[in-house]
Chains A and B, each alone.
Chain A
Amino acid sequence: MPTGWDHTAALERLDGDELLLVELIGVFFDEYPRFAARLTQSLSQKDFAGLREAAHSLKGSLGYLGATEGEALALSLEHASLSGDSALAADLVAQLMAYIEALRQLMVSSAGEPNDAIRMQ
């Protein structure tokens, strides 16, 4: 279970716009499958540039949503991709993907009526 979700910080960034935060969480999980596919594919092909790009994007989004622990994982993955460390990268990809799955559960459960709220766009 991810411990690092700073809901307050995320909300503050959006000037207290709860509805926007819920919508952005929805946008993130809409986009996420593309990134997940890119992570696994880049990893299997040892495409470190692709891996780094995906990690960089995820880092930005996770940071924006206040998912600090995920942001840190994505940053480590970016560094591992830069240095071409495939064992470390594989480990970090697994951690990051597990984290994001757990984050989905966490965000869903704390968003009141999760499914409707997150899917509303």
Chain B
Amino acid sequence: MQFACNEQLPTPLPQLPPSDPRMPGRVLVADDDALYRRALERSLVAKGYAVQLVSDGLKALEHALSPDAPRLIVLDWMMPGLPGPEVCRRLRATPREHYQYLLLLTAKHTTSDIVEGLEAGADDYLTKPFNVPEFFARIHVGERMINLHDSLLAAQKALRFQATHDPLTAIWNRRALFDLLRAELERAQRRPAPLSLFLIDLDHFKRVNDELGHLAGDAILHEVAQRLSAAVRVYDVVGRYGGEEFIVAAADLEAERPYQFAERLRLAVNASPVRIPQAEVAITISVGVATTNSSAECCIEKLIQTADAALYQAKANGRNRVQAVQI
């Protein structure tokens, strides 16, 4: 199977955010000094920030830990409830997906104090009394850090997606599929419960490629993956095994239900012709099903082998049909 031109096909990879639309965003200011609270509020609001004001450390921690907490947090050093560095320490001890920039305000300025504050998890500090432009310079540093962190997360997410998904169909790729199958089988044996593996092959797919071209073939593979994904339960596994072969794994199907499940997949793919620019193509699939009963010794290889033999049987019996086997 060739994928030379598949960049024209939809590839639903997560995109990097162009820039954070929340900047200027929200700022949490915690200071027990009404003067500083008011000065910071006024300056921040004038620049378009939304400000949350609190006057003690416990409230600051509570706000900063809330699910939709501001990412920019300004903490006074000495506060009732909890001192600023302790708020930093507890915030950093709580794993969070989104980085929060912590700016400590301090009247102290000996080296050991600064070290203590930064070691507690603050990103920076500002010595009181500070001036407003200096404060905003720190806030802008914070915004840069947050943006960098966000792009890093997005890049990581995109890479993780690329490493585990098939670029053409956006379903699990072969490597991820085997990891998931192994986990599913272990889970099934532990519970114990049956696990069914469906090996799916598009009928006469070579003809599609030969007659309509590989681009058309790619579009059809993409559509079949969509239809299969839509036909299974959310917790079932759908992946691309190879060229025009797909694998579905589903747990908890007793007696006749693996067969019925496979029929559902077969009908979902065949429900309507696949529309590609130059034609409408009726697609059928053959499905080989292997179901392991938890009590039996089994491995992924045996499941696939059995499903493969069943698939061969379905093909031999005329295609567009299901052959189910119990291990």
Contact = CB atoms under 8 A, between A and B. Distances in A.
A14 B39 contact: yes
Contact of A31 (B34, B43, B78, B107): B34
A42 interface: no
A64 interface: yes
B316 to A, nearest CB: 83
Contacts of A63: 107, 128-129
Counting chain B CB atoms within 10 Å of each CB, the highest count among A13, A17, A59, A65 belongs to A13
A24 interface: yes
B34 A15 contact: no
Interface residues of A, number: 22
Interface of A: 12-15, 17, 20, 23-24, 27-28, 30-31, 53, 56-57, 59-61, 63-66
Contact of B32 (A15, A57, A64, A65): A57
A27 B132 contact: no
Given A20-B42, A24-B35, A14 B129 contact: no
Contacts of B130: 13
Contacts of A24: 35, 38-39
B36 interface: yes
Given A12-B131, A14-B132, A60 B107 contact: yes
A60 B42 contact: no
A9 to B, nearest CB: 8
Interface of B: 32-36, 38-39, 42-43, 78, 107, 128-133
A61 B35 contact: yes
Contacts of B43: 14-15, 17, 20
Given A13-B129, A13-B131, A15-B133, A27 B34 contact: yes
B131 to A, nearest CB: 4
Given A20-B39, A56-B107, A64 B129 contact: yes
Contact of B36 (A53, A56, A60): A60
B35 A13 contact: no
A15 B132 CA distance: 6
Contacts of B42: 17, 20, 23
A14 B34 CA distance: 15
Given A20-B42, A27-B38, A61 B132 contact: no
B138 to A, nearest CB: 14
